[in-house]
Amino acid sequence: MTLYLRLATEADLERIMQLENQSFPTDAWPEESMRFELNGPHTRYFVAFDAPDEQNLIGYAGLAKLQGNPQADIQTIAIAQTARGKGHGKKLMERLITEAIHQGAEEIFLEVRADNPVAQNLYLGLGFEHIDTRKRYYQPADIDAWVMRLRLEKQNTKQPLVLGIESSCDETGIGIVRGNTLLANVISSSMDLHARFGGVVPEIAARAHLEALQPTLEKALKEAQIDLSELDAIAVTNGPGLAGALMVGVGAAKALAVATGKPLYAVNHLVGHVGVDVLERGEVITPTIALLVSGGHTSLLKVNDLLDDVELLGETIDDAAGEAFDKVARLLDLGYPGGPKIDEQAAKGDPKAIRFPRGLTLPKDMEKHRYDFSFSGLKTAVARWVEVKEAANEPYSIPDVAASFREAVVDVLVTKAVNACKDHGIPRLLLGGGVVANARLRELAKEQCEANGIELRIPAFSLCTDNGAMIAALGAQLVMAGRKPSNLDFGANSTLPVTTVQTP
């Protein structure tokens, strides 16, 4: 069962107290104490739900960490009786451990009842050790408390050397990072092979990955000046993307992991686009809104935590933005890939020459599709406009059509992204995906973000397109957070949800 985690707020207090009293009937915290904990400057509490609608709160946990103090304390953790035995407690604990690492803790302490072997075994399994016993600590039951400690220093200071493999679409990417430092980012594109078809052909992409993987890997290792034996871990995209293309990368990653004995991390392609920012800034400052725009994806994300709390706000309900660029470019006989061709023509045209529709922006659409995108209708509108002109033998300006089409696309993308920042009170926007190369998209995003006091992050273009560096970077974050590697029985998942950052 998927667990949905996010930071707790005072609005969760009533439901937290219900679970608190159910879980600790004789020694539950008073409501005012819990309110103080939720609002405290040195505490971080997380709540857990069994569905994204957040109707059923099934757990919560809290961590305390004073600035400058190398120690952190687990304040409390509780899982509803009906949700126990499903691994939810472990996931909550892993989230607290990650938070402690992010805050620079070297040790984590907790107390657990001496008569609770289930909880004791959970903590022991996570690396905690029993270091002391406090007699009659839990009152009024006169139960002793185990004092347990987890040392984090070794995990926190090591900068892991991680290789990332990306093969979700038409680009074979191999990246190598050491912690947050990029060592190599090599990409082999099969774009030319798809040009005659005007779009990516899955079978051709998969074959191209097979042919490109070994030379791309060798080139990346040479660029990074390392040997496979030096790696600490391997990371691979296992979704979302084209099933056949993903299988090539997953198969190669598993073979390397078995051959080298290195741990393997199966990670989410879309979250990788967000995580790549660590290679330029050293961290992904959260919460942040992320707009990912490519040939296969147009997604708007709310990233509360890179490794544990990524929420899908909206996505395309038909054509992705990049796909629409390709189709309109083909309609105008501009060639493939469509993005650069449209951009080139649009630079010479008038973006106000033709008023093309903005999909899912009417008042009737906003309630259900406020953060969703639709570009199929726009593509059809361009086609109909051109057909009418050609049927009447009327001349028209291709640059004007390209500029007007491009303006309609980027207007919707930027408006919805900026609205998401404003609606959620998050003054940060991160752009990712190949369509970010579009000059007008970057220009309008900069204008709108500056007008609304929003920090705009656009990684280098080589890190925006599909690449192995972003996968290696996300894998390194998981390693540094002390996460366990994936089991080797995972598979390619073409529809992997963005809420699954790592496949177990």
Q: Of 269, 297, 98, which is closest to residue 175 (Cα–Cα)? A: 269
Element (H, E) at 266: strand 264-268
Whole-prediction pTM value? 0.72
Across the range 210-232, mean pLDDT stands at 93
For the segment 95-146, what is each residue's pLDDT rounded down to a tens digit? 899 888 877 788 999 999 999 999 999 999 999 999 999 999 888 888 999 9
Beta bridge partners of 73: 64, 109
For residues 504 and 487, what is the distance between their CA atoms, to the nearest angstrom? 6
What is the band of 157 on the pLDDT scale with cuts at 50, 70, 90? Answer: very low
Question: Which residue's entry shows tokens 């690396």?
Answer: 127
For the segment 292-349, what is each residue's pLDDT rounded down to a tens digit? 998 788 999 999 999 999 999 999 999 999 999 999 999 999 998 899 999 999 999 9
Please give the mean pLDDT across all residues of the chain.
92
Q: Of 85, 134, 92, which is closest to residue 3 (Cα–Cα)? A: 92
CA 158 to chain centre: 23
Q: Of 273, 291, 306, which is closest to residue 456 (Cα–Cα)? A: 291
Omega of the bond leading into 140 within 30 degrees of 0 (cis):
yes
What is the band of 53 on the pLDDT scale with cuts at 50, 70, 90? Answer: confident
pLDDT on residue 181: 87
Which position has the higher pLDDT, 468 or 437? 468
Q: In this structure, are residues 408 and 311 in contact, taking their beta carbons and an 8 Å threshold?
A: no
Q: Of 301, 341, 312, 303, which is closest to residue 324 (Cα–Cα)? A: 341
Q: In this structure, are residues 373 and 416 in contact, taking their beta carbons and an 8 Å threshold?
A: yes
Q: Which domains does the chain have, with CATH numbers?
A: 4-156 (3.40.630.30), 158-276+465-503 (3.30.420.40), 288-458 (3.30.420.40)
Question: Which residue's entry shows tokens 């990346």?
Answer: 220
What is the band of 248 on the pLDDT scale with cuts at 50, 70, 90? Answer: very high
Q: In this structure, are residues 332 and 381 in contact, taking their beta carbons and an 8 Å threshold?
A: no
For residues 119 and 115, what is the distance between their CA atoms, to the nearest angstrom? 9
Complete DSSP assignment for 233-260: EEEEEEESS-HHHHHHHHHHHHHHHHHH
pLDDT on residue 295: 77
For the segment 264-281, what is each residue's pLDDT rounded down to a tens digit? 999 999 999 999 999 988
- With pLDDT > 90 as the criterion, what percentage of the chain qualifies? 76
Across the range 74-97, mean pLDDT stands at 93
Q: Of 109, 61, 501, 93, which is closest to residue 305 (Cα–Cα)? A: 501
